[in-house]
Amino acid sequence: MLASERQHNGETLVESFDQYLNLVRKWNRSVSLVSARDVAHLRARHLDDSLALQEHLGGAGTLLDVGSGGGFPGIPLAIANPEIEVTLVERNQRKSSFLQHVVMALELVNVDVINSDIRDARDTLSTFDVITARAVTTPDQIWAWCRGLLSENGRVLLQMASPIKEVLNDGIGESHRSSGIGWINVVRRAVS
């Protein structure tokens, strides 16, 4: 069975992705989810770029998306991987409301939305196998906020315009060219 033929709540993945992108377009008029110039390129710049993380999820049971905004990459990954429990953390109330709407509209039972800044929410969260962040802040800042939330063999996936150049405190990173618009930087705890 092709990935596009897999079912998500009775719809193919393509239909679920289309429904999600239509919600992004609709809500983007009142809640700035993506830049105006990106609306015409949602599939390539946002959906495909989000799904480029698939190959780095191997064996993940839990995923935390930090600064979810319009839901990229958390929502596409949740649709494509219903077996993974996904937590979206977004501090902007209007964007969090959008994410809640998407979760209800697409019946994403594997997704939880938390309206909070990650710095405030991290004390109430458990650990995660994968943590994603897309254009949130600097790699060293994300690492500082999130390394304590990683499970033993967990990894942080940073989607950025360029590969990581700085050394992260007790973290080792490797960069992979994304099939999308930038780089996927994978950061793990350094083995001591």
Q: What is the CATH number of the domain that holds 41?
A: 3.40.50.150
Q: How many domains are contained in the chain?
A: 1
Q: Which of 81, 185, 94, 87 is nearest to 140 (CA)?
A: 185
Question: Rounded to whole angstroms, what are the CA distances from 103 to 84, 99, 130, 181?
Answer: 14, 6, 20, 26
DSSP, collapsed to helix, strand or coil, labels residue 161 as: coil
In the prediction, which pLDDT does 179 show? 57
Pairing of strands 128-134, 171-177: unpaired
DSSP 8-class letter at 156: E
Does any domain span residue 1? Answer: no
The answer to whether 39 and 105 are in contact (CB under 8 A) is: no
DSSP, collapsed to helix, strand or coil, labels residue 113 as: strand
Does any domain span residue 173? Answer: yes
What is the tens place of the pLDDT at every residue in 117-169? 999 998 999 999 999 998 788 888 988 899 999 999 899 999 888 777 766 77
Rounding to the nearest 10 degrees, give the CA dihedral for residues 185, 46, 40, 92: -100
What is the tens place of the pLDDT at every residue in 27-69? 998 998 877 777 777 887 789 989 999 999 999 999 999 999 9
Partners of residue 184 on adjacent β-strands: 159, 176
Confidence band, pLDDT 50/70/90 cuts, at residue 86 = very high
Q: Residue 107: pLDDT above 60?
A: yes
The answer to whether 7 and 80 are in contact (CB under 8 A) is: no
164: containing domain = 9-189
Does any domain span residue 142? Answer: yes
Does any domain span residue 4? Answer: no
Q: Residue 7: pLDDT above 70?
A: no
In the prediction, which pLDDT does 183 show? 84
Does any domain span residue 140? Answer: yes
In the prediction, which pLDDT does 105 show? 97
User: CA 72 to CA 38: how far, in whole Å?
Assistant: 13
Rg (CA), the chain: 16
Tell me how far the alpha carbon of residue 186 is from its chain's centroid: 13
User: CA 26 to CA 4: how far, in whole Å?
Assistant: 24
Does any domain span residue 2? Answer: no
What is the tens place of the pLDDT at every residue in 177-187? 665 667 888 88
Does any domain span residue 182? Answer: yes
